[in-house]
Each structure stands twice: as C-alpha cells, then as structure tokens.
A and B are shown apart, each in its own frame.
Chain A
Amino acid sequence: DQQVKQNSPSLSVQEGRISILNCDYTNSMFDYFLWYKKYPAEGPTFLISISSIKDKNEDGRFTVFLNKSAKHLSLHIVPSQPGDSAVYFCAASKDSNYQLIWGAGTKLIIKP
C-alpha cells in the first residue's frame, strides 16, 4: 500500500524552463510534507517543506504547492538549471516525531 506516490519515474526539462514534479498521497492524517534531492552516490539532502496549514511555500527558485482536498503536492523549480538534475523524493509524516513515508522518486534531467 503506497501512501505516497510519485507517478513519474523521470522528467526531462529544457534549461531555463520550469520543472514541475508531482506527488500524491492517500493518508489524510499526513500534516507535513518534504522534498529531498539526491545525487548519485550521495545521501538525500533536504530541499523544502510545507505544513498542512499552508498551501504554498517558497525558497528561492523552489516552490512547493499543497492541495489538501486533492491530496496532491507539487514542486516547482524556476528557472531550471543543469545542477538541478537529480532524483527528487517526496516524503510525508503525520507526526513531527515519527517516521517519514517516502515516494519512489522522480529523476529530473535538465537538458542544456
């Protein structure tokens, strides 16, 4: 039972354009969502997060949108840069002191 789903295994975007990565979840008890970025042969690194009391959070080129009624969140990267090529994981939790549930990841490829 996949509670957090990233349905696109990969995404290819032209440099300078917008990258949109999507994530769906099934558990309405989730109240905190995070995006992590992972380069090959490295551990995931935290990118941006959003609490369920908000519908948008911005940090520089990265914006996360949360649609609670649709149980959907998305990560927007504008403008996309070659260094953004990585695997992006969406994760959710229902308790800040508890475990995160992870999506399978989306591999983002930024084309020059």
Chain B
Amino acid sequence: NAGVTQTPKFRILKIGQSMTLQCAQDMNHNYMYWYRQDPGMGLKLIYYSVGAGITDKGEVPNGYNVSRSTTEDFPLRLELAAPSQTSVYFCASKTGSGNTIYFGEGSWLTVV
C-alpha cells in the first residue's frame, strides 16, 4: 500500500536555489494538498488542488508554485529558496466526499 509518496525525504538547499518536492498518490483521490509545519506550530496549507488542472492558494502560498497535470501527481516548486522556507513539508490527499486526509511521510527541507 503506497498511499501518498513524497520525495526527497531530506534536502539542503542554498539560498536562491530552486527545487521541486514530488508527491504522488495511488488512491485515485481528487483532492491533494501541500502543508508546511514549522517547529511548535500546526500545519499551514500552502496550496491545494481539487482535481487535475485545478489548483488554488492556501494560507501561505508565497514563494511556492504547484501544478496538477494528472490525478496522481502534485509537485511543489520552490523557485528562489529562502531561509524562511526551512520547514517540514507534507503532501496529503483525500476523496471528494470525505473529510479524512491521508498524509505522506514528510520532506525535511533546510535552506542555508
């Protein structure tokens, strides 16, 4: 049971570099999400998608971009990495009708 798969698990970036966090789900879920979690804080929604070709901003979208070309994949792009983007990133998905969200294992990103 793969569920939600995120890569890479750990990454160190230099300020100004770009990278893409990959996310794939094999549950045929319409809804997909990207969250970040800073130490001692709850999860903050970066972007979400309600289906292929449709994306929308969450609470903290600045500095990020997403695309949803297929139901399965929802990559998160950091264009110009900044130290404020040091965080743990979680990708998640759910069906259109339910409230239960299924999470990936997380990606630890450090920007130095």
B88 to chain A, nearest CB (A): 9
CA distance in complex: A7, B102 (Å): 25
CA distance in complex: A6, B58 (Å): 21
B90 at the interface (CB under 8 A from A): yes
- Report chain A residues within 8 Å CB of B4: 43
Q: Is the CB of A49 within 8 A of B105?
A: no
- B12-20, B37-45, B66-74, B76-84: which lies at the A interface? B37-45
Q: Is the CB of B100 within 8 A of A96?
A: no
Q: Is the CB of A43 within 8 A of B42?
A: no
Categorize the interface residue count of chain B.
Answer: 20 to 34
- Report chain B residues within 8 Å CB of A41: 105-106
A-side interface residues, number (CB < 8 Å): 24
Q: Is the CB of B106 within 8 A of A104?
A: no
Known: A9-B40, A49-B100, A104-B40. 13 other contacts (CB 8 A): A32-B99, A43-B4, A43-B90, A46-B102, A91-B43, A93-B99, A96-B98, A97-B96, A100-B43, A100-B101, A103-B42, A104-B41, A105-B42
Please list the residues of chain A having a beta carbon within 8 angstroms of any beta carbon in chain B. Answer: 4, 6, 9, 32, 34, 41-46, 49, 89, 91, 93, 96-97, 99-105
